[in-house]
Structure 1
Amino acid sequence: MLANPPDYYEPFRRRVRDVVKLVDPEGAERRRQERRKDRHVRFTLGDDGEAFLCLQGPVEQLYPAYVRIDQQARRAKQQGDARALDQLRFDIAMDDLCGEDQWHIKTIVWVTVPHTTLLGVDDKPGQLFGVDSLPAQVCRELAADPKSTWRRLLTDPVSGMVTDVGRKRYPPAAMAENVRMRHPRCTHPGCNRPSTRCHLDHTARHADFGRTCVCNLNPRCERHNLCKEKPGWVVEQPEPDLVITTSPLGDTVTVRAEPIAEPEPAPF
């Protein structure tokens, strides 16, 4: 069975689209303008360390981008590159998005990894923070990258929870990172948005003299940050690692901070 079986109906659908545009050009243009509003980039996590980055938008922009990537891949193939065309297209696209010539773009991606893995003592996995685990070898390769910057994190050996973030920056920045390390995702029940893409919300409102401290901050995405302000929602944080959300219907969900290191086994 073919992995990507041919779509025998595609020529017919293409012909129908062409006829519709010919018969109703104004409607076709109106629909085209409406669809342009739906352009987006989506990231989806797959299995076995894979993921999908999907771009959807105007064909007149995406097709030239694909042709450019494809031409570079075919040129490299003709020059003797041993990689498959699909592999070349992917690698070239990644170089265009994140390559060395993108020096003016600062991107922050957190990867946590036990120091024993980096030293080669064991093969404990690391974490692409708030997204997925990473094999030990991938972590070592990232550590060897001269563009990487590593900072010290202290964790409680019993619980694996963050206790301190290296303070090469001013305390507010270190405090923000401390909170995001404790809670890798939005603390609203059921939301999986990584904390690096969330606001840091004061549990007791700043306007109500809520403190700016680890014990009164938790990450919430924009949608659920606004949701919290609606009547009937109650959010409490009795301790830094515990966020309790109660809905207008009275349902209560407790979200606990997650350890970023494997807790040490209790001594016998």
Structure 2
Amino acid sequence: MDLGTRAPSTAVLLSRVGERIRSREALLVEEWEDITAWASNHVIAGPEGGATITEGYLDTGVPIAGAGAPLVSEFALMELIAVLGRSPDGGRAYVGRVIECAWRLPKVYAAVVAGRLAPWRAERIADLTRPLSAEAAAFVDRQLWDATGVGWAQLERLVTEAVLRFDPEKAEAERQTAADGRRFDVGEVDEHGLVHLDALMDAADGHDLNQADARRAETLAKLGDESSLDVRRSKAAAELARHDLALDLLIPDPDTGDVVDTVPGRKVVLNVHITNTTLTPANDRNRVGRWEEGRCPITSAQIREWLRARHTTIIVRPVIDLADHVPVGAYEIPDRHRTRVILRDHTCRFPHCTRPARACDVDHARPHADGGATCPCNLVPLCRRHHRAKTHSTWRYDTPTPATYVWTSPNGHRFRVDHRGTHPVRTDRTADPPDR
């Protein structure tokens, strides 16, 4: 490096990196478009006369994408894969992902062509949607029309929801089959008098067990047990075998909210989102719930099964409008406001962060001292790390609409965070940012 030449700034270097990524993706998009055109020219009407070991001379249409995508010529596919320089299996999978997007996920494909969605992200989506029915794949496609910032866990939950909505019989059968595999095994005693436990449990049962064990481990610490947390949890599990589990559940007065009684058993808080079709019997087939602790969609059948468990206390919270404006004059945030914010945003709203909102701080977008209201429309969940970044660095965000946040980084890069994930807001970054 010529030490006499002024080194480029961080902002310029980051801009170069981003520009090269976009150039590389633009070339890949052109490849996708060519593969799609190639597939259109090599469609085989049906799978009849399949090329088998004994009849390998026949050129057959091979299904390399999901239901509804075209069958392409097997022999022509071999040639394309060779030109792409890929292995037979890897090339077939790659071309299948492109066809899956082009025919079954048109909105995802359009986002790739427009440069809004990286091809590698679209490939991951295609891998997950290929086993789905055409109806379920179309549902995923509608949700991911601008899927720049969707993480893998969120994507897998969306695919799970699609199966629950559009093939509920299959989903329920698979759930019941999986439930039949539940077990609880105690291993052989080793030379130190210790045993290994291995279990597969219903998720709600596992949650109850974890809560009970954690409470007892905390109690042991308060009683003077100086063992590590892992050791105390092991001891606590042993105590559970010698005592009845009793979760102290609070029974509130429906009018005042004051606690009037406690009962043992499982506590379930059911947040009911009411729409104009919620109470329509015909829509029961497509009803899907969301388990907050598991952060995943669940069937209404699973919810009913959990609610029927013995000694279960159910608290129902109807949620009419998460965007409703209910400001209060104080700086302190009421629990009802915090609950609305958690149900609306689900996670920390910093770019790409997936920390659950229930574990986050709730920040006033416009500071209360500057006139910002203590109202869900002005409250944002931020994990402690990103709350500190917003407070003590030059990271900033605006809220153009409720539940939509536009962040600006210290070097002027911008990101939009909403219910679809994180999306870069592209601007001209060829010059240095102005001095502050």
TM-score in terms of structure 1 length: 0.52
Partner of 2:287: 124
Answer whether contact 1:112 1:126 (CA < 8 A) is retained. no
Answer whether contact 1:126 1:135 (CA < 8 A) is retained. yes
1:244 match: secondary structure: strand
Q: Which amino acid aligns with 2:247?
A: W
Partner of 2:88: none
Q: Deviations over 1:246-266 (max 9, x none)?
A: 1111111122247xxxxxxxx
Choose which of 133, 136, 147 in structure 1 pairs with 2:297: 133
Q: Deviations over 1:104-158 (max 9, x none)?
A: 4889876656675997832422112382111222122233342232210124xxx
In structure 2, C-alpha distance between the alignment counterparts of 1:213 and 1:194, rounded to whole Å: 20
Change (3 A) 1:117 1:222: farther
Matches within 5 A, 1:12-161: 67=195, 70=197, 86-87=199-200, 96-98=209-211, 101-104=245-248, 121-129=284-292, 131-145=295-309, 146-155=312-321
Q: CA deviation at 1:199?
A: 0.7
Structure 1: stretches of 5+ with no match in the other structure: 1-43, 51-62, 71-84, 156-161, 166-170, 259-268
Q: What percentage of aligned pairs have identical amino acids?
A: 25
Choose which of 380, 403, 418 in structure 2 pairs with 1:218: 380
Are 2:353 and 1:240 equivalent residues in the alignment?
A: no
Partner of 2:148: none
- Give the RMSD, CA atoms, in angstroms: 4.4
Q: Return the structure number with greater helix share.
A: 2
In structure 1, C-alpha distance between the alignment counterparts of 2:343 and 2:205, rounded to whole Å: 32
Corresponding pairs, count: 178
TM-score in terms of structure 2 length: 0.34
Q: CA deviation at 1:224?
A: 0.5
Answer whether contact 2:272 2:317 (CA < 8 A) is retained. no
2:320 match: secondary structure: strand
Q: Deviations over 1:190-228 (max 9, x none)?
A: 000111111100111223332211221110001100011
Choose 1 or 2 for highest CA Rg.
2
Structure 2: stretches of 5+ with no match in the other structure: 1-152, 161-174, 179-191, 213-243, 251-265, 326-332, 421-436
Q: CA deviation at 1:187?
A: 0.4
Are 2:350 and 1:188 equivalent residues in the alignment?
A: yes
Q: CA deviation at 1:239?
A: 2.9
Change (3 A) 1:151 1:95: closer
Change (3 A) 1:121 1:252: same
Q: Which amino acid aligns with 1:132?
A: C
Partner of 1:227: 389
Answer whether contact 1:112 1:128 (CA < 8 A) is retained. no
Change (3 A) 1:111 1:105: closer
Answer whether contact 1:117 1:123 (CA < 8 A) is retained. no
In structure 1, C-alpha distance between the alignment counterparts of 2:339 and 2:387, rounded to whole Å: 18
Answer whether contact 2:351 2:417 (CA < 8 A) is retained. yes
Answer whether contact 1:118 1:140 (CA < 8 A) is retained. no
